Structure 1
Amino acid sequence: MTGLRERKKQRTRLAIQEQALALFGRDGYENTTIKQIAAAAEVSERTFFRYFPTKEDVVTWDGLDLSFAVRFRAQPATDSTFDAVRATLLETFTDLSPTEQRRLRERVVLMTSVPPLRALLLDQLVGTGHAIARLVADRIGAEPGDPGVRALVGAVVGAAFAAVLAVPEHPDTDFATLLDETLEHLSVMPTVE
C-alpha cells in the first residue's frame, strides 16, 4: 500500500499529464508550451519539472512497469513463459479504468504521430523489453541475454509495437484487445521454458 505522500505525488503527476494531453489535443503537441501545461494543471513550472524533466516525458510516462512485474511474478508456475507474459499484459491493460484507457490511447496516438515522440516510443519499448527479459530470465533460471529469452521478449515487444501502431487505425478497440489479438498469432510459436 502506498503512503499518502506517494498518492499525492501520483495525483499531481496524473493531473499534469491530463492537462498536457488536453492541450496537445486542442492546440497540437508542438504548439503547446510547458508554461501552458503548468498553468492548466495549476502548478508552477518548477513543479512541472519535478515530475517531468521534459515535455516529452509528460507523454511517455506511465506507471505500468511496477504493476507488470508484480502481476508477472504472480502467474502460475505451470503456465508456459509466453502464456505468463501474455496473461500479464492482458491483465495489466484490461484492468485500466476508462479514464486510463482514454489517456493511454491519447498518448499512443501522440507517440505514433509526432516524430520526436516516435523515437522515444522506440526507446520505451526497448526499456520495457529489458525489464521483461529480466523477469523472464528469473522465472526460467536463465540470463536476460540468453538467446531463448531474447527471442521470446523480442517477439512480445514486436507484437506490442504492432499493437501500438494499430491504435490510431482502430479507434473503437481498446489496447488490450489489439495487443491480445496480435499475441494470439505468436501463441502457436514454440516458447522458452
Structure 2
Amino acid sequence: MTSAPLHDSAGIEELLGASLGLRERKKLKTRRAIRAAAFRRFAEQGYEATTIDQIAGDADISPSTFFRYFPTKEDLVIRDDYDPLLESALRARPANESLVESIRHAMMEPLREIIAVDHDDMLTRMRILIDNPVVNARNQAEMHRTRDMLLNVFCERNGRSPEDLELRVQIAAFLAATFETILYWAQRDGQDDIVTLLEQALDAVAKGFNH
C-alpha cells in the first residue's frame, strides 16, 4: 500500500538540489527521470528482463546519454541522491550532540518527504537487492561510500580521528541497522511506516551504546 504523496517529484528535486547550481539541478532532474523510467520497467517486467535500450527509449534519451549518468544498469539500483542531503543536515547539527541523535534529527524529516514520493521505487530497489546477489554485493561497496562520508563529518565536527575505532563501530552499527530496517520494511511489502521503523532501530542502537 503506497502512502499518498505529500510532495510531487519536482518538490523532491527542489529538496535534493537546494544547494546545487543550475547545471547540477538539471543533471539531477535528468538523472531522476532516467531512474523513474527504469524503475517503472523493473516493476512491470523485472530487473533482468529490462534493457538499457528500453530505459533510454522510455526516458526519451540516447543510450550514450544513459551511460553518462549511470555507468551500468546496476548503478540505477545501488546509487541514489540522498547522501548530500544527509551530509548537509548533519553539518547543521550541534557539535556536542551524540551521533545517534544527530542522525535521527538529520535523517527523519527529509526521509518523510522522500518516501512520500519514492515509496514504490524504494520498494522495487530493495526487492532487486534481495533477489540479485550481484547487485547486492555492489550495494555493500556503495555503503562504504556512505560510511566514509559519515566518518568525515563526525571527525571534522568533533575533532576525532578517522582511526577512532569506537566512532567507526558506531557508524557501522547505524548503517547496518538502517539497511536491516529497510530490508524488513521491503519484506513486509512496504506497508509499515518506514520512519517509525527507523526510529525504533535507532532507539535500539542507542540502547546498545549506553549499556
Match of 2:141 in 1: 123
Shift of the alpha carbon at 1:183?
1.2
Q: How far apart, in 2, do the equivalents of 1:123 and 1:92 lie?
A: 24
Q: How far apart, in 2, do the equivalents of 1:174 and 1:113 lie?
A: 23
Match of 1:180 in 2: 199
1:15 equivalent in alignment to 2:33 = yes
1:24 equivalent in alignment to 2:52 = no
Shift of the alpha carbon at 1:106?
2.2
Match of 1:160 in 2: 178
1:86 equivalent in alignment to 2:104 = yes
Given that residues 136 and 144 in structure 1 are in contact (C-alpha distance below 8 angstroms), is that contact kept between their aligned partners in structure 2? no
Letter in 2 for 1:176: V
Q: How far apart, in 1, do the equivalents of 2:159 and 2:131 lie?
A: 39
Q: How far apart, in 2, do the equivalents of 1:32 and 1:114 lie?
A: 14
Letter in 1 for 2:203: E
Any unmatched runs of 5+ in structure 2?
Answer: 1-18
Shift of the alpha carbon at 1:59?
1.6
Q: Secondary structure at the match of 1:95?
A: helix
Q: How far apart, in 1, do the equivalents of 2:46 and 2:132 lie?
A: 10
Letter in 2 for 1:55: K
Q: How far apart, in 1, do the equivalents of 2:111 and 2:36 lie?
A: 18
Q: TM-score, normalised on structure 1?
A: 0.90
Please point out which of 127, 139, 143 is paired with 2:161.
Answer: 143
State the aligned residue count.
191
Shift of the alpha carbon at 1:188?
1.5
Match of 2:84 in 1: 66
* Residues 57-116 of structure 1: per-residue CA shift (max 9 Å, x gap): 112221111111110011123422221122222233123162223322222222222221
Shift of the alpha carbon at 1:146?
0.5
Structure ranking higher on relative contact order (CA contacts 8 Å, 6+ apart)? 2
Given that residues 108 and 167 in structure 1 are in contact (C-alpha distance below 8 angstroms), is that contact kept between their aligned partners in structure 2? no
Q: Tell me the percent identity.
A: 33
Given that residues 159 and 183 in structure 1 are in contact (C-alpha distance below 8 angstroms), is that contact kept between their aligned partners in structure 2? yes
Q: How far apart, in 1, do the equivalents of 2:37 and 2:155 lie?
A: 39
Letter in 2 for 1:19: A
Q: Secondary structure at the match of 1:83?
A: helix
1:54 equivalent in alignment to 2:72 = yes
Given that residues 13 and 51 in structure 1 are in contact (C-alpha distance below 8 angstroms), is that contact kept between their aligned partners in structure 2? yes
Q: How far apart, in 1, do the equivalents of 2:25 and 2:76 lie?
A: 18
Any unmatched runs of 5+ in structure 1?
Answer: none
RMSD of the alignment, in Å?
1.8
